[in-house]
Chain A
Amino acid sequence: MKRKKISKVGSILIGFLIFFVMFMSWGVQTAQGKTRVVVAQGVEPTRLDPDMHRETPTNNVCLHIYDALLERNKEGEIRLDLADSWRYLDDTTLEFKLRKGIKFSNGEPFNAEVVKYNFERVAGLIPGAKKVLHSADFTVIKEVKVIDEYTVQIIKKKPHPLFLSFVAQKYMVPIEYTKRDNFEGLATKPVGTGPYVLKSWMKGSELILEAKKDYWKGAPKIDEVVFRPIPEDSTRISELKVGNVDIIANLKPDNIGEVKAQKHLEVKFVPSNRTSMVFINAEMDKMKDVRVRKAINHAIDVPSLIKNIFDGNGFRVSTLSPKHFVGWDPKEKFYSYDPERAKKLLAEAGFPNGMDVAILTPRGRWLNDVQACEAIAGMLTKVGIRTKVNAVEFGVFARQTQARQIPELMYASWGNQHFNVLHTLDAVARSGRMFSFYKSEKVDDYIDKAAMTVHPDKHTEYLQLALREMWEDPSFGFLYNLKDIYGVNKRLVWEPRPDEDINLYGAYVK
């Protein structure tokens, strides 16, 4: 009996002992004397195979590891990268001359064969290879021809004015390394020609990139770039405040003051590549009359929305194009805020007593989406379009929109990584597309022409014509292009970009 008691006391003691052994054995990792910049994102990267993901946080890691033939600078202009020159031989044949002497981080050479292999992979031209997530962007490729070791031609099925933009997003991966295991290894042990290599990746905790001293464009000035996933906004801001993190993205307008108040921090703004709009479901009878759709545009006080819902962090757009996009119309006109006119237009359209509608929006997918919709609903209700806000989880929203089961109105913020409004128009304004709820033959015609015209001036002109026509016969409530807001430690010299890329090559620490 006595012994039994002791063993019980003993087991408790052993329990505590184990506890303290664990206590002692968890060592602290110390930082080394290198320049190190930490980026906190809301989620962690998924797969570092550049063709097997579709998310910004993963892309931000990939762009440090890989290079593409072309790249976009901060202003959105396309520049040479791995390519030494490019030219169109005709409307469908694009020829690239490549830079010489570039090697992947595993020693494999970069040459025309690599380019052919990469484009054939994404275009689905390699038999037996797994389909990539970006395949839809590259189905236009008919054939890739190697002319000599450093010359390659891409032959397309039809003219494609956005193609160079896709090329700028197609990161080059090595042949031998990926052939060995059918791209499996690339997802966690990436190999590229870019300025950084993956040093370590502790899932859920941190991903460390190490500078490549012999990078062909010159050694990066920051020795280590660390990506940390921190899901909670307030935690991200706290880490920025204490200096453990140097860059945080998606800062909310409400938190700007808090970050600015810290001497060692600054807030940076950049117009985003997202345009927000109210989709009008013109397939429904009450939205068929153009006067109703005009009334909606006259009823929404866009500057007030930007000021009150987003603390001024946005720009009004006349249609669907931010100012920094190809296709933006310098002669753009804006709808005046004119509730009286809206009421009159409604009455003329046969709705003297107004109408009841609903606006569908996801809850929390885009910055202050529900608040914006509530304000818009209030404005519309004032002119007689009695609007109910239908805010749902994004999963539900996505399902409803894909099934095209939307009410009269829908709020959405449309991303476009190509700095060209064609990409947006082709998805939401060209009739017959998944997210298009309106048919205008004129608009369709201009979009189709723009999509077939590679010549830059003519291409832009068609886009402007399409936008002007859309302004005259609106199938959207035109809203705004918000700014992306970043919290940055002042020790870092770095500028944000409209396409949400966080690129630290070229940045440095003071």
Chain B
Amino acid sequence: MSKYLIRRLFHSIIIIIGISIVVFLISRLTGDPISVMVDFDTSEKDRAILRKEFGLDEPLPVQYLFFMKNALRGNFGKSIRYQEPSLDLVLQRLPATIRLIIFTLFGSLFFAIPIGIISALKRNSFFDLVGMTFTFLGQSIPSFWLGIMLIMIVGVHFRWLPISGYGGGSLSYVIMPAITLGAVTMASFARITRSSMLEVLSMDYVQTARAKGLSEFIVIVKHTLRNALIPIVTILGLHVALLMGGAVITEQIFAYPGIGWLAIQSIYNRDFPVIQTIVMLVSIGIVFTNYIIDIIYTIIDPRIHYEQKK
């Protein structure tokens, strides 16, 4: 198993290097950052000074090597817009995003698993119909629309929750962004719980457990749910990546000061150092999360062994 894990680690590093090259190229091929940084009517002389200052006058491969050399030392360069170390900028915003994502993940699981279980147990009942319609909506509603609707109804009309911002870290500011961000995640968790519950319920060992005379509760929780949750762990890793992507839109709508908003702002401003830092950190985070999930997987499902004799 350790051999497999080392190989996976090696793959992960290659993926990260690949990402760094793609990000580097794309962000530089789409326009001159100086032109976005200064006024439309700034003189060419001033532009040239700035270009030199940010090393944008060097050829691309040189810029890339320079970038990687510094990145390994934790120096991702200075933000063009803020003229601050871009790693600092990103780290300042990172806790807000991590909070939002943890909240969203837990919140989705908290609602999705019971919905999935009950829908599976009472298959084709009214609850199942409502539950699945609900999840279907969750999956198909565009998140920006959901966000704006929440703001208009919950925020403006009923004034139950604050509309935007961070509120110094108050929980009430996370709820609407989390619902917006988590709708898709919750829906797919619920559907997967339901379908894998259905699958497991028809297994022989569940019949055996029932035949042994175990209470229905024990059968469901210990024998069925445990096995039904394995696919959830698998897609958890995928959803962390999805949520990171979704955070870009959600944070923008709710003016929630995380790295998603910083990312989109940096893209508008062609702030290369910040874009690179965010993408690098996020991709390292996602690759790492999936790596951890691979490990967790072997623990929760003893049938899975990565090391196979050739």
Residues on A close to B: CB < 8 A? 5, 8, 15-16, 19, 22-23, 26-29, 43, 46-47, 52, 54, 131, 133, 135-136, 187, 202-206, 228-232, 234-235, 238-239, 241-242, 244, 393-396, 398-399, 401-402, 412, 414-415, 427, 434-435
**Given A19-B106, A135-B46, A395-B270, do A26 and B170 touch, yes or no (CB 8 Å)?**
yes
**Given A204-B262, A399-B32, do A131 and B163 touch, yes or no (CB 8 Å)?**
no
A435 proximity list for chain B (CB < 8 A): 41
- 24 cross-chain CB contacts under 8 A: A22-B102, A47-B82, A133-B38, A204-B257, A205-B165, A205-B166, A206-B166, A231-B261, A232-B164, A232-B252, A232-B255, A234-B148, A235-B148, A238-B152, A238-B156, A242-B156, A393-B30, A393-B31, A395-B32, A395-B35, A398-B32, A402-B44, A415-B39, A415-B41
B247 to chain A, nearest CB (A): 13
Q: How far is the CA of A22 from the CA of B81 in the complex (A)?
A: 33
Q: Are B255 and A16 in contact (CB under 8 A)?
A: no
Q: Are B166 and A239 in contact (CB under 8 A)?
A: no
Q: How far is the CA of A396 from the CA of B258 in the complex (A)?
A: 28
Q: Are A228 and B165 in contact (CB under 8 A)?
A: yes
Interface string of B79-97 (1 = CB under 8 A from A): 0011110000100110010
Q: Which of A22, A46, A244 contacts B163 (CB 8 A)?
A: A244
Q: Which B248-270 residues sit within 8 Å CB-CB of chain A?
A: 252-255, 257-258, 261-262, 264-265, 270
Q: Which of A8, A394, A415 contacts B36 (CB 8 A)?
A: A394
A28 proximity list for chain B (CB < 8 A): 167-168, 170, 172
Q: Which B10-66 residues sit within 8 Å CB-CB of chain A?
A: 30-32, 35-47, 49-50, 53
Q: How far is the CA of A229 from the CA of B256 in the complex (A)?
A: 10
The A-B contact count (CB < 8 A) is 142
B31 to chain A, nearest CB (A): 3
Q: Which B135-157 residues sit within 8 Å CB-CB of chain A?
A: 148, 151-152, 155-156
Q: How far is the CA of A54 from the CA of B81 in the complex (A)?
A: 10
Instruction: Name which of A393, A395, A399 has the most chain B CB atoms within 10 A of its CB.
Output: A395
Q: Are B166 and A136 in contact (CB under 8 A)?
A: no
Q: Are B31 and A54 in contact (CB under 8 A)?
A: no
CB of B169 closer than 8 Å to a CB of A: yes
**Given A203-B93, A229-B255, A238-B152, do A47 and B83 touch, yes or no (CB 8 Å)?**
yes
B151 proximity list for chain A (CB < 8 A): 234-235, 238
A133 proximity list for chain B (CB < 8 A): 38, 46, 50
Q: Are B155 and A230 in contact (CB under 8 A)?
A: no
Q: Are A206 and B40 in contact (CB under 8 A)?
A: no
Q: Are A434 and B44 in contact (CB under 8 A)?
A: yes
Nearest 4 Cβ contacts at the A-B interface: A204-B257, A395-B31, A398-B35, A29-B168
Q: Which of B38, B83, B270 contacts A54 (CB 8 A)?
A: B38
Q: How far is the CA of A242 from the CA of B165 in the complex (A)?
A: 14
Q: Are B39 and A399 in contact (CB under 8 A)?
A: no
CB of B9 closer than 8 Å to a CB of A: no
Q: Are A402 and B166 in contact (CB under 8 A)?
A: no
B40 proximity list for chain A (CB < 8 A): 398, 401, 412, 414-415
B118 to chain A, nearest CB (A): 19
Q: Are A204 and B93 in contact (CB under 8 A)?
A: yes
CB of B171 closer than 8 Å to a CB of A: yes
Q: How far is the CA of A229 from the CA of B41 in the complex (A)?
A: 25
CB of B162 closer than 8 Å to a CB of A: yes
Q: Are B35 and A136 in contact (CB under 8 A)?
A: no
Q: Are B164 and A434 in contact (CB under 8 A)?
A: no
CB of B99 closer than 8 Å to a CB of A: yes
B99 proximity list for chain A (CB < 8 A): 22
B189 to chain A, nearest CB (A): 15
A47 to chain B, nearest CB (A): 6
Q: Are A238 and B155 in contact (CB under 8 A)?
A: yes
Q: Are A228 and B265 in contact (CB under 8 A)?
A: no
B84 proximity list for chain A (CB < 8 A): 47, 187
Q: How far is the CA of A22 from the CA of B102 in the complex (A)?
A: 10
